[in-house]
């Protein structure tokens, strides 16, 4: 039994009809209780609370009482949080002609309440045959905090005893009211076309296969190589500037002080969060500063190139190359509200306007072009640039330009011979639509390592979802001690057991030098062993502790 009440849809051969039924168009579900509510995906135990997910016994969706304010704390909103989606089913008193629907919802970006990607409405005259009679695929509104209504026209009337609303619900989706319009007269209503809608489906195409390295550039193990930190700007230390010595135990497996084998084959450059939360991320000068940091003399890309040469030479492969990925900095609409102007990126003497699609697209192109040009000018002999990373962890469907910008980045990169990928957090907005949204690959974070309240089951839930959706898996370690080492070993256990060990993996371990470097350096046998076990995992040879202990 799940969080919501179990139910079975009663099939009806001859649905009741109202005598002397009126042709008056009205809200057919006003005041009706929810007949059934299903979660399409995985609804974790910690999300099974009234705050995160309103119980299906609540009358809020059809009570006719609207929220007084665009505020997530207003008690009139019905809450959905995480999972792939929800299907809300109503049974009408009589067979009716359904002609359209309205869905009222909240957008409040500052607290993570977003509009869903799509809404579908299905109807059935008998509980057995269903048709999708209306849907919307792309919901936008202009304000960051706003009550919003979506109207869905069915292009005619359809005979309905049951009606189902299906939503995508990654992140927070707060609904105000649901309305189904039509009349109780079915004289001119169409019969549904059996098979034109699947009530048990999720609306998502499950592929049930982890991506193989051959599906994405042949890469297997990608290290998130954070660079560009504001602590360096303030002169405190060299965080964000990685040298050869720090890269060596990542580019190579070091055994008894010698280069014994290869380790990570790919490295992603992306900025530290203290940079992205600073004013630097919101201005042209800061964007240039970030790219300067990637190409700093003697550090980062330059250091990696020299380290890869050293590793290849030691292993008898002087032409050895590692793959590198660069980030596309995100053109947030909010930059247009910043008291200071963004600045001029392309040297035309005009400040870029981050409320304009044209300027956001221009800034995206500049970010790609500038890094490619700098890479070619540096001409590293042991690094090859293969793809770019979309530097956001969720999709803001409330931003009317977001999907168009992703599509532009994808098409432009493809025209140049590069790929585009994405790393959402666990069940982030848009995760289930990664392919439709334009990414060549996506890698989901389980976010287990950082919060001891998150159960071990999260690793296996993430493994199930990523496999269903054809995504790869992010490995994470949240600190350097016995406790965090044990949690990371659980990631490796799960990977060996479920199969993502043999797929593409991306690794978060803080900024380089990072936690794995500390393991490599550690004189504690158990902590140092984590480095050796990581090498086995990178090479698909790690054996789960759950198997070893049997």
Looking at the structure, do residues 406 and 466 belong to the same domain, yes or no?
yes
d(CA 54, CA 80): 7
> What is residue 196's predicted lDDT score, i.e. its pLDDT?
76
> CB burial class (10 A; 0-12, 13-18, 19+) of residue 88?
buried
Q: What is the mean pLDDT of residues 70-81?
A: 97
Which tokens go with 246?
């720090």
Residue 9 within a domain: no
Q: Which residues pair with 107 in a beta bridge?
A: 146
Question: Which residues in 31-42 are b (16+ Cβ under 10 Å) and which e?
Answer: ebebbbbbbbbb
> What is residue 386's predicted lDDT score, i.e. its pLDDT?
98
Q: What CATH number does residue 250 fall under?
A: 3.20.20
Read out DSSP for 496-530?
A: HHHSGGGS-EEEE-SSTTHHHHHHHH--SHHHHHH
Looking at the structure, do residues 313 and 402 belong to the same domain, yes or no?
yes
Residue 4 within a domain: no
Read out DSSP for 156-208?
A: EEEEEEEEEEEEE-SSEEEEEEEEEEEES--TTPBPP-TTB--TTS-SS----
d(CA 41, CA 85): 7
Q: What is the mean pLDDT of residues 335-340?
A: 59
Q: Which of 105-119, 122-136, 175-189 has the lowest mean pLDDT?
A: 105-119
Looking at the structure, do residues 174 and 124 belong to the same domain, yes or no?
yes
Q: What is the mean pLDDT of residues 143-152?
A: 93
Looking at the structure, do residues 220 and 174 belong to the same domain, yes or no?
no
Give the pairing type, strands 441-444 and 472-476.
parallel
Per-residue pLDDT tens over the stretch 252-310: 999 999 999 999 999 999 999 999 988 889 999 999 999 999 999 999 999 999 999 99
Q: Using pLDDT thresholds of 50, 70 and 90, give the confidence band for residue 234.
A: low
Examine the pLDDT at 339 and tell me if it is beyond 80: no
Per-residue pLDDT tens over the stretch 449-481: 999 999 999 999 999 999 999 999 999 999 999
Examine the pLDDT at 236 and tell me if it is beyond 60: no
> What is residue 226's predicted lDDT score, i.e. its pLDDT?
96
Q: Which of 6, 12, 10, 68 is nearest to 37 (CA)?
A: 6
> What is residue 400's predicted lDDT score, i.e. its pLDDT?
85
**Residue that wins the pLDDT comparison between 76 and 114:** 76
Looking at the structure, do residues 267 and 153 belong to the same domain, yes or no?
no
Q: DSSP letter for 333, please.
A: G
Residue 195 within a domain: no
Which residues lie below 8 Å from residue 199, measured CB to CB, with a gap of 6+? 9, 87, 89, 122, 124, 130, 164
Residue 304 within a domain: yes
- Do the Cβ atoms of 492 and 501 come closer than 8 Å? yes
Looking at the structure, do residues 337 and 416 belong to the same domain, yes or no?
yes
> What is residue 70's predicted lDDT score, i.e. its pLDDT?
97
Domain boundary among 167, 183, 199: 183
Looking at the structure, do residues 248 and 128 belong to the same domain, yes or no?
no
Residue 208 within a domain: no
Which tokens go with 244?
């050869």
pTM of the model: 0.90
Looking at the structure, do residues 262 and 387 belong to the same domain, yes or no?
yes
Looking at the structure, do residues 175 and 224 belong to the same domain, yes or no?
no
Domain of residue 423: give its range: 214-548
Q: What CATH number does residue 102 fall under?
A: 2.60.120.1190
Domain boundary among 161, 183, 205: 183
Token pair 């550039």 in the structure block, residue: 217
Which residues lie below 8 Å from residue 189, measured CB to CB, with a gap of 6+? 96, 97, 98, 156, 157, 158, 159
d(CA 366, CA 348): 13
Q: Considering Cα of 380, then 382, then 386, then 391, what sign does the dihedral take? A: negative
Longest dimension (CA), the chain: 90
Residue 197 within a domain: no
Looking at the structure, do residues 166 and 220 belong to the same domain, yes or no?
no
Q: What is the mean pLDDT of residues 209-218?
A: 97
> What is residue 1's predicted lDDT score, i.e. its pLDDT?
53
> What is residue 415's predicted lDDT score, i.e. its pLDDT?
98
d(CA 295, CA 292): 5
Residue 527 within a domain: yes
Q: What is the mean pLDDT of residues 90-103?
A: 98
Q: Using pLDDT thresholds of 50, 70 and 90, give the confidence band for residue 535.
A: very high
Looking at the structure, do residues 129 and 262 belong to the same domain, yes or no?
no
Q: Using pLDDT thresholds of 50, 70 and 90, give the confidence band for residue 198.
A: confident
Per-residue pLDDT tens over the stretch 46-66: 899 999 999 999 999 999 999
d(CA 248, CA 235): 25
* Tally of domains within the chain: 2
Give the pairing type, strands 322-328 and 383-390.
parallel
Looking at the structure, do residues 125 and 234 belong to the same domain, yes or no?
no
d(CA 446, CA 423): 11
**Residue that wins the pLDDT comparison between 235 and 383:** 383
Token pair 């304000």 in the structure block, residue: 143
Residue 203 within a domain: no
Q: Which of 113-127, 198-212, 402-416 has the lowest mean pLDDT?
A: 198-212
d(CA 82, CA 434): 16
Determine how many CB atoms are found less than 10 A away from the CB of residue 227. 26
Per-residue pLDDT tens over the stretch 311-337: 999 999 999 999 999 999 999 866 655
């Amino acid at each position: 039994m799940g969080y919501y009440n179990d139910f079975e849809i009663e099939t009806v051969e001859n649905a009741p009809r109202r005598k002397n039924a009126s042709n008056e168009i009205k809200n057919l579900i006003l005041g009706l209780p929810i007949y059934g509510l299903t979660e399409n995906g995985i609804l974790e135990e910690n999300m099974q609370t009234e705050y995160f997910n309103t119980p299906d016994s609540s009358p809020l969706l059809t009570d006719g009482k609207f929220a007084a304010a665009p505020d997530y704390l207003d008690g009139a909103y019905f809450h959905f949080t995480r999972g792939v989606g929800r299907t809300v089913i109503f049974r009408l008193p009589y067979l009716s002609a359904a002609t359209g629907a309205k869905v009222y919802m909240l957008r409040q970006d500052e607290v993570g309440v977003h509009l869903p990607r799509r809404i579908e409405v299905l109807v059935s005259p008998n509980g057995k045959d269903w048709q999708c009679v209306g849907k919307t695929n792309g919901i936008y509104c202009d304000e960051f905090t706003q009550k919003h209504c979506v109207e869905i026209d069915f292009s005619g009337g359809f005979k309905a005893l049951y009606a189902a609303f299906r939503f995508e619900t990654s992140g927070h989706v707060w609904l105000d009211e649901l309305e189904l319009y039509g009349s109780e007269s079915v004289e001119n209503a169409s019969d549904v076309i059996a098979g034109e809608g699947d009530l048990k489906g999720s609306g998502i195409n499950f592929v049930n296969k982890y991506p193989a390295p051959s599906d994405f550039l042949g890469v297997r193990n990608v290290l998130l190589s954070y660079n560009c930190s504001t602590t360096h700007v303030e002169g405190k230390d060299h965080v964000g500037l990685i040298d050869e010595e720090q890269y060596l135990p990542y580019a190579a497996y070091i055994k008894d002080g010698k280069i014994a084998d290869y380790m990570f084959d790919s490295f992603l450059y992306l900025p530290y969060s203290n940079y992205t939360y600073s004013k630097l991320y919101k201005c042209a000068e800061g964007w240039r500063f970030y790219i300067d940091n990637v190409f700093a003399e003697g550090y980062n890309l330059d250091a990696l190139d020299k380290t890869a040469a050293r590793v290849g030479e030691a292993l008898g492969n002087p032409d050895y190359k590692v793959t590198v990925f660069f980030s596309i900095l995100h053109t947030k609409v909010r930059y247009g509200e910043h008291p200071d102007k963004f600045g001029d990126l392309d040297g035309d003497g005009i400040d870029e306007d981050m409320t304009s699609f044209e300027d956001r697209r221009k800034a995206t192109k500049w970010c790609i072009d500038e890094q490619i040009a700098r890479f070619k000018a540096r001409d590293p002999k042991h690094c090859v640039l293969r793809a770019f990373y979309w530097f956001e962890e969720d999709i803001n469907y409330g931003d009317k330009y977001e999907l168009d910008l992703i599509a532009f980045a994808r098409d432009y990169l493809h025209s140049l011979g590069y790929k585009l990928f994405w790393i959402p957090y666990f069940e982030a907005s848009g995760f289930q639509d990664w392919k439709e949204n334009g990414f060549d690959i996506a890698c989901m974070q389980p976010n287990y390592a950082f919060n001891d309240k998150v159960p071990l089951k999260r690793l296996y839930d993430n493994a199930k979802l990523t496999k269903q959706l054809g995504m790869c898996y992010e490995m994470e370690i949240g600190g350097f001690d016995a406790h965090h080492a044990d949690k990371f070993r659980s990631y490796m256990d799960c990977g060996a057991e479920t199969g993502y060990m043999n797929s593409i993996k991306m690794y978060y371990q803080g900024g380089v030098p990072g936690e794995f470097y500390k393991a490599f350096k550690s004189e504690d046998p158990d902590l140092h062993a984590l480095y050796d076990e990581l090498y086995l995992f990178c090479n698909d040879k790690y054996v789960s502790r759950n198997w070893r202990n049997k």
